[in-house]
Amino acid sequence: MEREFTEQELVRREKCEKLRELGLDPFGQRYDREDFANDIKEKYADVDHDAFENMEDTAKVAGRIMFIRKMGKASFFTIKDKSGSIQVYISINDIGEDAYNLFKSADIGDIVGVYGKVMKTKTGEVTIKCLEYTHLVKALKPLPEKFHGLTDKEERYRRRYVDLIMNDESMRVAMLRPKIIRCIQNYMDGIGFTEVETPILTSLLTGASARPFCTHHNAQDIDMYLRIALELPLKRLLVGGMEAVYEIGRVFRNEGMDPNHNPEFTLMEAYLAYSNLEGMMDMTEGMYTKIANEVFGKTTFNFNGYEINLEGPWKRLSMCDAIKEAIGIDFKKITDLDECLKLAEEHGIELEDHEKTYGHIVSLFFEKYAEEKLIQPTFLYEHPIEISPLTKKNPEDPRFVDRFELFIGGKEFANAYTELNDPDDQLERFEDQIKERDLGNEEANDIDMDFVESLEYGMPPAGGIGYGIDRLVMLFTEQESIRDVLLFPTMKERGKN
């Protein structure tokens, strides 16, 4: 494959050959690093400059050269590792002429190892005085210009590796995400849950309302879906007696991309036997406050243009009351479908054929008038039965189910249920979904007869919940786009609009 190189790239490739002539591997070997940049800076931050005269503390670091200031027989450079950056002082008097000449041939972007004495400059910067300099990797491409980096957001997402090198905020978010997930796992494990894994490939479309990605299993010669949810396998485990289970895993929905959605994303679902909607509310509030306090040491975050306070107790509001607060219509008191259809027409809400029901109209009113007004953490409960096929009916009003969604900053963060465990009711709900599909709802669920059969063995009363982990990370790291919390978001092909 013919490739064209810039002048700078050609110079770097010439240096690469000179390293080989010197008997050095341009792309390095194992290096036993012992220290990280930020650990060194924190350890010696409060040590006075003069105190280093009587100290012989050493450090051994490795990282990428981000800055060089050459000054004849002595120079300064900065290297960056996963923890941060640290300054290095290097002198021909300390490492000898050959090693110093090797350093002088280095470029910004090269990866090197440094062993030396810890010191502090007169300006107070913790620095390593290099005693041994080791070339590790020659960078054949130059990094973007220092102060601007990758300013094109699309390129930042496509070339995340360069973004992580140049953008400290991107690295901060990348390192915080696993800490958040580990905190969630510790919290769930601590309250008696068991983390499990369930199949990604499935032959049925169940567990959520979404269009799937399709694939084909060659050995069995059958079409399959990438899962759109985790729900039904986890509830089977409740039937089996595991009682408290959760999974954090990738799910796949064949839908558009925007700052809040990516076709593949991380979902967590949890199911607890003998619990209910209120139990899921308490668990959720506890999990969020644990992350806030243990990972971040604060409970106030900036998200979606709002200052969000995660201190409890959080507001609890029914969907009908949310609509009533927003525009004054009380759907709880409306029982006539024709009146609902008239209200939808008066308020400019267009209905598909499958949406001409009481429940769909209530849901559409909420989405249009009330959803964006739920700024501080709010548990929105009492959803219409038509939009909740896997949820237990409200015993006081069968038009609604025992379900809640968590809203923060006008966005949905979690979806929870008092789980439906009546097999006959469940089958009826599945059959209603097929009717909706016949009316044009492409996101309707399949009938999962094995799941219905599992319920016939008896599933305990239970609470269940699903969390969008990516949006949760967006909140805690104060990011505006889901692409900023995914290391490799789905991207359009270059050149396509």
146 vs 30: CA distance, rounded Å: 29
Boundaries of domain holding 117: 7-143
> pLDDT for 48-98, tens place per residue?
988 998 899 999 999 999 999 988 899 999 999 999 999 999 999 999 999
User: What phi and psi, each to the nearest 5 degrees, are found at residue 58?
Assistant: -120, 165
Query: Which residues partner with 210 through β-bridges?
Result: none
In a domain, 358, yes or no: no
Per-residue DSSP letters for 313-378?
Answer: PPEEEEHHHHHHHHHS--GGG---HHHHHHHHHHTT----GGG-SHHHHHHHHIIIIIGGG--S-E
In a domain, 368, yes or no: no
Say how many domains are in the chain: 2
The verdict on 107 and 29 lying in the same domain is yes
Per-residue DSSP letters for 426-439?
Answer: HHHHHHHHHHHHHT
Confirm if 331 and 362 have CB atoms less than 8 A apart: yes
Place of tokens 């409960």: 381
In a domain, 208, yes or no: yes
The predicted structure's pLDDT at residue 497: 59
- Of 140, 171, 166, 147, the C-alpha closest to 155 is 166
Q: pTM for this one? A: 0.90
The verdict on 192 and 75 lying in the same domain is no
The predicted structure's pLDDT at residue 1: 77
pLDDT above 90 (res 146):
no
In a domain, 325, yes or no: no
- Of 295, 248, 296, 246, the C-alpha closest to 273 is 246
The predicted structure's pLDDT at residue 495: 64
In a domain, 148, yes or no: no
Assign residue 472 the CATH number of its domain: 3.30.930.10
Mean pLDDT calculated for residue range 423-434: 87
273 vs 248: CA distance, rounded Å: 19
Assign residue 13 the CATH number of its domain: 2.40.50.140
Q: Residues 6 or more apart from 478 whose CB is under 8 A from it?
A: 301, 302, 303
Better pLDDT: 370 or 390? 370
Place of tokens 């609470």: 463
In a domain, 354, yes or no: no
The verdict on 16 and 122 lying in the same domain is yes
In a domain, 415, yes or no: yes
Q: What is the separation of C-alpha 415 from the centre of its chain, rounded to a whole number of angstroms?
A: 17
The verdict on 386 and 475 lying in the same domain is yes
